Amino acid sequence: MSFKSFVRELREIKDGIGSISKRGEEGSRHWRNRTMSHIAPDQEEHSPLELIQQGRWANLPPELLLDIIRRVEESETSWPSRAIVVFCASVCRSWRAITKEIIRTPEQCGRLTFPISLKQPGPRESPFQCFIRRDRATSTYLLYFGLAPSEDEKHKLLLAAKRVRRAAGTDFIISLVADDFSRASSTYVGKLRSNFLGTKFSIYDSQPPCDPAAQQSSRSSRRFHSKQVSPRVPACNYSVGTVSYELNVLRTRGPRRMQCVMQTIPVSSIQEGGTAPTPTSFTHSDDHLSIESDSMRKDSGKDFGSKTPSEPAVQGSDESLVLKNKAPRWHEQLQCWCLNFRGRVTVASVKNFQLVAAVDESHNVSVEEQEKVILQFGKIGKDIFTMDYHYPLSAFQAFAICLSSFDTKPACE
């Protein structure tokens, strides 16, 4: 094959995939809201990609296909152009397998590609910079990938949350799309639940923890009866973390004091050579259905929430990672509490915070790692907030922690 023919073939691939995505956008409102980040599950019925699956593209030599997708992955490094990588995985099963083999985790490559990337730890060096847009009328919160909102640029939607008030507290339902917050939907990824005073929050994940030991001790509860929906939709919530705010009994002025216990992240993850749990795919509920059904038969009359939310899920000698807010300093000239957000926060607010690891000498964590800001959140405008997160937090975990700052806390201020 000549070089010109090879280039022409590459252009046909790109044009063909682009036309398919365009037709999908015109015919599907959900596809448009997911900002072209989802891969449909393998199905036996006919799909719009049937012609490509039966054509020459499905039968390309693996070596050539590997080289093509690797070039596409290296050239399209940012959104929205990175959607082409997702299109490559949508062509057929062989393309999907090779694409998933090439794509690395955010910790390794510093890029977000597939939806599972939102459940994987962020990069170790430079943080992922995102922003949250709050809609007071609909009580929704949209997380975008980017420095700050701009009119001439289409930003990548990562996650969306909706606040639902209950008699005993508040729930923040977290979804992959901005128009479907049903807990029975395949786009549901988790929730944040508060107590009555808004001082303690529990983070629930729709996926079980990666560590089997953590999964056994992690608090779980049914979202709905498993027979009501497709077995591909997880039917349980798993407690993966808690956020606690210190009570301000004396009503003294000052920033909020908060502490986060990440039950599924061991403190060893921030030690030298340590690793954080990294899921590789979304687990379907049928994989854990037998385990859950057996336990529910035994404990049918018991409450799954009988354990205290702050109980660590990481078993053994390793402890759960604890985060604390970085103490601000008092600025005499400005007469306010200040933190160095490196230009990412421009408006003073009680919601602004920076989280660092809370460790002691026995954990053998370097001073540099102790001072590293793992998550920072702050206001830059009316209903606009920035969110920057580091390893070992994922986008889902960081977003849930930031959502806790939006809830009313009369006992903490």
Please state the domain extents for the chain.
55-103, 110-212+235-271+317-412
CA 324 to chain centre: 20
Nearest to 353 by CA among 379, 330, 371: 379
- What is residue 350's predicted lDDT score, i.e. its pLDDT? 85
Please give the share of the chain, as a percent, with pLDDT higher than 90.
38
Cα within 13 Å of Cα(46), Cβ side: 4
Q: What is the pLDDT of residues 345-361, one digit of tens each?
A: 999 888 899 999 998 88
Q: What DSSP string runs through 101-160?
A: HHPPPHHHHS---SGGGGGSB--SSSPEEEEEEEETTTTEEEEEESSS--TTS-PEEEEE
Query: Each residue of 29-53: pLDDT tens digit?
Result: 443 444 444 444 444 444 554 544 4
The strand pairing partners of 162, in sequence order, are 140, 173
3-class secondary-structure state, position 245: strand
Model confidence at 167: pLDDT above 70 = yes
Q: What is the pLDDT of residue 330?
A: 81
Higher pLDDT, 293 or 54: 54
Distance CA 124, CA 271 (A): 12
The pLDDT, as a whole number, for residue 61 is 86
Range name among 126-140, 207-221, 352-366, 383-397 with the lowest pLDDT average: 207-221
pLDDT single digits (tens) 143-155:
999 888 876 667 8
> Cβ distance 165 to 378 under 8 Å?
no
Q: Domain 110-212+235-271+317-412 has what CATH class?
A: alpha beta
pLDDT, tens digit (0-9, with 9 covering 90-100), for 180-216:
999 888 899 999 999 988 889 999 999 888 765 555 5
Q: How confident is the model at residue 297 (pLDDT cuts 50, 70, 90)?
A: very low
